[in-house]
Amino acid sequence: MFRATLTARLAAVALLALPFAAPSANAETSLTIAVRRDSNSIAENNFNFTTRGPVAQVVETAVQPDANFVPQPLLFDAWDYADGTYTITLHPGISFSNGTPFNADTAIAALQLYDRNKSDFLQIDPASFTKLGDLSFSFRSETNSALVIENMTHRGTSLFADVADRATNPIGTGPYLLESYDPKVSLTVVRNPTYWGTPRNIDRLNFRYITDDNARLLALQNGEIDIIADVTPQMMLSMPQDGSVVLHESRPIRYVALLANVNGKAPFDILKDRAVREAVAWAIDREAIAGVLFGGRGVPAKGILPGWMFNLGDDHTDGFGYDPAKAAALLDAAGWKPGAGGVREKDGRKLTLRFLAAYPNVTSVKPMPEMLEQMFTAVGIDVDLVEVDDAGVYSDTYLANGEADLFMEFASNNNTDPTYLLTMLFTTTTPWGGYQFTAPGAHVDKLLADARAAQSRDEVIAGVRAAHRAIVQDDLTAIPILMVPNFVLSRPGLEVPMSEFTDWIDFGMTRIVAR
């Protein structure tokens, strides 16, 4: 743990505060928030300290998303784009929490620091930064992309001051300061007294890492914590109905889908046949699953991007109903005939699919894997269900090597770039390794490359619609199941400002209306 650094920092920022400032007459407000996993990393090639698991708001992104997933000013006051070049105007009067001004020089340094760690994401040409004035500068996209600003709404692109000790003392422009961090135990932040923007309602946020679902819920009921940030279906099934626990929810945003291995090698090559993929899609009773999981608040999905997002609409995908007879007929026509024990066979090979559940962990989707196994068994598909509760095992052991037929994912598009999710999960050039196995091929690569290179928003959205339809309907490399809201549980008397962006739920703006 490292508490001593904050005392020195608060003493330093006090010197910058206005003289004769009266102390608050109100008692300190604090909230304790339970999160499932400590996802902080201080590795130089993946530095995300205080920006992931949880987002502690020590640092900020250049821009922020609005309710319609359109980027809005934050640290950047305005921006222009033409022919691959961005011209940026910074918001005036901002300083890092150590008193260093946030200006063109320090903003460029922060972006260069980010680029050194994660250059595959923003794809800014590091040699292109040009200072134009004290609060203005320009840079170029390495790919002439018109979507760099959209990608800057991702919390992973938050801007850190380039200081030597940022692994223990991260410096940003955000509304909070790091007080202490005990890995896998807790992380505590306190309100930044010199924050340039709207002060947060809560003086102190204490994030506790509690991996067990039942333990998180019990801690809330016992008054040990105030909020649960990571809510699983099992927790919602166990949630008391006496008003002692309050549910907060957003619009449906997160998808549950099965990603099909369409580029695998034997024995994981059965789903190269689209007829088998379509049979799987028709074998799923989405209404039954929606009725069991997430307190009935999930909705059957026709895609992995909700229609309200980016104004995509719902008319470009058709979806799949529940029709086990049609699923069986498709398998019959594809040569998979019923065999011993009801398992279908073709040329002496059993129709066995390895089903990997799930990303980010199987706990987040229980009992859906077992329900799907029963549905697939009913149409003659033998299921080898592998359950993992660790995203690293999911990605590195199975996905990276294409060692499953179906990969269950519970995720969402988490920035305002309309091409982001589809590009990362369904192109042959994905920087995310194993998703090459779920890529339909060159035609989808081209649709998304053209959308990313488009110079108008309308062209971008048209390309995304076409690629989305290919992925979830025509090529069917993603089989949608549910669309689910973000959920937070709290004790009574709290108003938590919800967001479709999980990372943009601002716990610091929670209103305490009663105890």
The residue to which tokens 């972006």 are assigned? 111
Give the pLDDT of residue 118: 56
The distance of Cα 462 from the centroid of its chain, to the nearest Å, equals 23
Indicate whether 239 belongs to any domain: no
Confidence check: pLDDT of 182 > 60: yes
Q: How many CA atoms, within 13 angstroms, populate the side-chain half-sphere of residue 132? A: 13
Indicate whether 217 belongs to any domain: no
Do both 283 and 201 map to the same domain?
A: no
Confidence check: pLDDT of 89 > 50: yes
The residue to which tokens 């008391």 are assigned? 240
Do both 306 and 404 map to the same domain?
A: yes
Mean pLDDT (the chain) is 91
Mind listing the pLDDT tens digit for each residue in 253-271? 999 999 999 999 999 999 9
Do both 262 and 140 map to the same domain?
A: no
How is residue 200 annotated by DSSP?
A: P
Indicate whether 112 belongs to any domain: yes
Domain ends where: 154, 181, 209?
209
Burial class (CB in 10 A: 0-12, 13-18, 19+), 15: exposed
CA dist., res. 320 & res. 298, Å (int): 16
Do both 338 and 467 map to the same domain?
A: yes
Residue 42: give its domain's CATH number.
Answer: 3.40.190.10
The predicted model gives 99-107 an average pLDDT of 98
Do both 479 and 335 map to the same domain?
A: yes
Helix (H) or strand (E) holding 259: strand 246-260
How many CB atoms neighbour CB 207 within 10 A?
25
Indicate whether 22 belongs to any domain: yes
Under the banding of pLDDT at 50, 70 and 90, the label for residue 289 is: very high
CA dist., res. 49 & res. 345, Å (int): 50
Q: 3-class SS at 110?
A: helix
The predicted model gives 358-384 an average pLDDT of 96
Give the pLDDT of residue 236: 87
Q: 3-class SS at 357?
A: strand
Mind listing the pLDDT tens digit for each residue in 118-133? 556 788 999 999 999 9
Indicate whether 230 belongs to any domain: no
Indicate whether 35 belongs to any domain: yes
Do both 46 and 186 map to the same domain?
A: yes
Sign of the C-alpha dihedral computed for residues 411, 412, 414 and 417 taken in this order: positive
Burial class (CB in 10 A: 0-12, 13-18, 19+), 241: exposed
The predicted model gives 29-38 an average pLDDT of 96
CA dist., res. 386 & res. 407, Å (int): 10
How many CB atoms neighbour CB 214 within 10 A?
11
Residue 360: give its domain's CATH number.
Answer: 3.10.105.10
Do both 202 and 303 map to the same domain?
A: no
- The neighbouring-strand residues paired with 30 are 204
Do both 346 and 432 map to the same domain?
A: yes
Do both 43 and 109 map to the same domain?
A: yes
Of residues 13 and 171, more confidently modeled: 171
Q: 3-class SS at 102?
A: coil
CA distances from 491 to 83, 185, 246, 346 (A): 51, 21, 6, 55
Q: For the chain, what percentages of helix, strand and coil (3-state, to nearest 5) are there?
A: 35, 25, 45
Domain that holds residue 418: 252-485
Give the largest CA-CA distance in the chain: 86
Do both 197 and 265 map to the same domain?
A: no
Do residues 429 and 445 lie in contact, with contact meaning Cβ atoms separated by under 8 Å? yes
Give the pLDDT of residue 144: 86
- For strands 85-90 and 494-495, give the pairing: unpaired
Indicate whether 232 belongs to any domain: no
The predicted model gives 294-317 an average pLDDT of 92
Overall domain count for the chain = 2
DSSP string, 383-416: EEEEE---HHIIIIIIGGGT--SEEEEEE---SS
Burial class (CB in 10 A: 0-12, 13-18, 19+), 222: exposed
Do both 190 and 290 map to the same domain?
A: no
Do both 201 and 263 map to the same domain?
A: no
Indicate whether 142 belongs to any domain: yes
Do residues 425 and 395 lie in contact, with contact meaning Cβ atoms separated by under 8 Å? no
Under the banding of pLDDT at 50, 70 and 90, the label for residue 117 is: low
